[in-house]
Amino acid sequence: MPITVSATTRVAAVIGDPVRHSMSPTIHNAAFEACGIDAVYVALSVPDGQAAEAIAAMRTFDWLGLSVTMPHKQGVMAACDELTATAELLGAVNCVFWRDGKIVGDSTDGEGFVRGLDSDLGISPAGLHCALVGAGGAASAVARSLALAGAARVTVINRTAARASALANLAGEIGVVGSMADLSDADLVVNATPIGMGSTDLVDEVPFDVTSLRDDAIVSDLIYHPAETRLLAEARGRGLRAQNGLPMLVHQAVAAFEHWTGVDAPVAAMTEAAQSALGPS
Ligand code: NAP
């Protein structure tokens, strides 16, 4: 049933700047509709430095919850009443929800990655040697979740060595700094750089040499536009199992939806909405 906005309709939103490109309204409104939840999701452009005002507005208007994107992932932290252990460790929040009358900040990207790996490829990171290429925000979230999910080792490979060390520490005892030579030993290799991303001058490049991977390696590219990066085309050309960033995108939204509503998220409807919003690529 299409959402009918009435006096009882709750509001959820993504805050960011820029925010007009966001696919979150499409994904979340499809989810509310599929579950018959009386809520609507909008995109709010909030200038840099005004994250606390957005959290105050959530309190005043009793909004259902917020998604948080750049530049507010750090700024909202101080305004929340509580943070989850993951948000605290990563120093970033991408989802805000109510728990026992308090506003809680969480980071659902890493959980989204692990859930997406399972739902898309049926793979658990437990016991795997995972290699991460890149050491930015997305890599941090993925590293933490891989460690929580029981990965045997997380090798971090990054252009800037200091960031690789910080990220390896974040994964705890199983985190190590590595080089491209370590890829030949990895079960799961994740591209967490923008190399291959559409609408950039990196679109035709690959972040690492696919021929160096094992025959049974799994390749995950966090990029979802284009749907098939050159890396993924080369990996599939070699017969490797591979996925793009869409399952992570959908499943970080699944985790947010479940925080807000307490209802199991309609994963198929959310995936279909995301795919149609992306269009052919
Ligand atoms: P970020 O914080 O800016 O980090 C980017 C990382 O890539 C850094 O480690 C950077 O290395 C490295 N890098 C950038 N350009 C490079 C180049 N030309 N050569 C080698 N390394 C390079 O970005 P992010 O937010 O983590 O995002 C990373 C990727 O994940 C993007 O493609 C983004 O679209 C994707 N992502 C996907 C999802 C999803 O839901 N699927 C969510 C978030 C992000 P230095 O440390 O040396 O600068």
C-alpha to C-alpha distance for 250 and 269, rounded to whole angstroms: 10
State how far the alpha carbon of 213 is from the alpha carbons of 6, 31, 135, 185, in Å.
55, 38, 20, 7
Would you state the structure tokens that stand for residue 219, as one six-digit string? 């390749």
The Å distance, Cα 251 to ligand 1 centre, comes to: 19
**In the beta sheet, which residues pair with residue 106?**
95
Q: What angle do CA 14, 15, 19 make, to 5 degrees?
A: 85
Sheet holding 153-157, edge to edge: 175-177, 153-157, 129-133, 188-191, 218-221, 241-243
Which pLDDT value is given to residue 68? Answer: 98
The whole-number pLDDT of residue 1 equals 55
Q: Is the peptide bond before 2 cis (omega within 30 degrees of 0)?
A: no
Per annotation, catalytic residue among 73, 144, 251, 259: 73
Pairing state between β 95-99 and 102-106: antiparallel
Q: With the C-alpha atoms ordered 59, 61, 66, 71, is the resulting torsion angle positive or negative?
A: negative
Q: At what angle do helices 137-148 and 109-121 cross, to 10 degrees?
A: 70
Query: Is 73 one of the annotated active-site residues of the chain?
Result: yes
At residue 3, the 3 state secondary structure works out as coil
Mutation probe of ligand 1 site: the residue of 72, 222, 254 with most atoms within 8 A of C-beta:
222
Nearest atom of ligand 1 to the alpha carbon of 246: 41
The per-residue DSSP string of 15-31 comes to EESS-TT-SHHHHHHHH
Pairing of strands 241-243, 218-221: parallel
- Check if 159 has its Cβ closer than 6 Å to any atom of ligand 1: yes
Ligand 1 center to residue 139 CA distance, Å? 7
Say yes or no: CB of residue 231 within 6 Å of ligand 1: no
d(CA 50, CA 67): 15
Neighbours of 45 (CB within 10 A): 11
Nearest Cα residue to atom 46 of ligand 1: 160
**CA 137 to ligand 1 centroid distance, Å:** 7
Q: Cα–Cα distances in Å, from 19 out to 24, 57, 175, 271?
A: 10, 18, 34, 20
DSSP string, 77-143: GGGSSEE-HHHHHHT--SEEEEETTEEEEE--HHHHHHHHHHHHH----TT-EEEEE--SHHHHHHH
pLDDT of the chain, 281 residues: tens digit per residue = 567 899 999 999 999 999 999 999 999 999 999 999 999 999 999 999 999 999 999 999 999 999 999 999 999 999 999 999 999 999 999 999 999 999 999 999 999 999 999 999 999 999 999 999 999 999 999 999 999 999 999 999 999 999 999 999 999 999 999 999 999 999 999 999 999 999 899 999 999 999 999 999 999 999 999 999 999 999 999 999 999 999 999 999 999 999 999 999 999 999 999 999 988 76
Its pTM stands at: 0.96
